[in-house]
A = this chain, B = another copy of it.
Amino acid sequence: MATKSKPAVVHNLPLNQILDGDCIERMNALPAGSVDLIFADPPYNLQLKGDLHRPDNSKVDAVDDHWDQFSSFAAYDKFTREWLAAAKRLLKPNGAIWVIGSYHNIFRVGSALQDQGYWMLNDVVWRKSNPMPNFRGKRLTNAHETLIWASRDEDSKYTFNYEALKELNDGVQMRSDWVLPICTGHERLKDENGDKAHPTQKPESLLHRVLIATTNPGDVVLDPFFGTGTTGAVAKMLGRDFIGIEREEAYRKVAEERISRVRRFDASALEITGSKRAEPRVPFGQVVERGMLRPGEELYSVGSRYSAKVRADGTLVGHEVKGSIHQVGAAYEGAPSCNGWTYWHFKRDGKMIPIDILRQQIRAEMEADLGRPH
């Protein structure tokens, strides 16, 4: 219960500390209307059945911790409504909340927020640049999580640093979808055995954006599911005060140690994120989906030597070959590889036009598009 970097005086709040115990009881013991922002990463209530193995037969290290077990939706809803009510009481009138979740729980959380009179400002999609794939090929890769940003009341004058976020986003408005990598490498905290200290540690980049967007220096940020303390670490860096609540001793210990190592940034030291992006990859299927080429339409190689027909899934069928634009081109040419974008042409008004033109159109739209997060 240490990790102090500043005396706790205002409202008698236990600032920059990690409280132990149950988050609902702890929140109810704090003074009402004293917190500027709450960031919450509650249990997701995953309902996993058996083990899952990768195609190489290695076992996936699943989230099977006791704190993620609920007996029913009703039990999960009860828990959710109780902690959200405690959170609302704690917020200042102009305070706001962020909650992160997946499709297992976020719809329950969102409904509860609305029912309790929170005012939804945005739902934000964290698009993971490196998600875990779907190993059995039975669903889409679960490549995102959802955050809800809501103010305490409909008429709250919430904090939103529009200009700062615009700067973070190369001068255009920040969108509701954020591309950020998951937490790995040195940032990922390990326990004594070298295993991950927490199964669901969030990346600091995510908290960085949340806190820059919706708090000011000196604000009090509370995290009722503190875990290994990402919220506290980023809050300290950015000159915000935090209050953490975490009932697992092991997590608290890791978090305290972590936060003690964090240095507060100079006011001038705010991070610049200006990584150049490679040209975005455009799947040929998008050309078909967007109706730029129709299923059934013929494509031709240079000189019309070969032709193949477009299918609805973005593959080609030719003479005894089918596959991607690259594969069919390579097969015809007897070559090990082939750039289908420059190889294939379509006919318009008697003219042969390379399909790469269509890719360029799509890329132009993507460029024109507002917002290039990250």
B289 touches A177 (CB 8 A): no
Closest-by-CB residue of B relative to A114 is: B73
CB-defined contacts of A283 to chain B, threshold 8 Å = 168-170
A374 to B146, CA, bound (A): 21
Which A280-322 residues sit within 8 Å CB-CB of chain B? 281, 283-286, 288-291, 294-296, 309-315, 317, 320, 322
Contact of A148 among B103, B129, B266, B317 (CB under 8 A): B103
A187 at the interface (CB under 8 A from B): yes
A324 touches B171 (CB 8 A): yes
A110 to B329, CA, bound (A): 44
A208 touches B289 (CB 8 A): yes
A222 at the interface (CB under 8 A from B): no
Instruction: Using A140-B174, A309-B268 as known contacts, say yes or no to A129 and B366 having CB atoms under 8 A apart.
Output: yes
Stretch at the interface among A34-42, A118-126, A190-198: A118-126
Copies of the protein in its oligomer: 2
B205 touches A290 (CB 8 A): yes
A7 at the interface (CB under 8 A from B): no
Contact of A313 among B103, B212, B284 (CB under 8 A): B212
A110 touches B106 (CB 8 A): yes
Task: Encode A251-285 as 1/0 by CB contact (under 8 A) with B.
Answer: 00000000000000110111111000000010111
The interface size bin for chain A is 35 or more
Which A352-370 residues sit within 8 Å CB-CB of chain B? 365-366, 368-370
The 9 sampled A-B contact pairs (Cβ below 8 Å) are: A107-B111, A125-B125, A130-B369, A142-B176, A143-B371, A164-B313, A167-B285, A167-B315, A268-B309
CB-defined contacts of A180 to chain B, threshold 8 Å = 286, 289-290
A94 at the interface (CB under 8 A from B): no
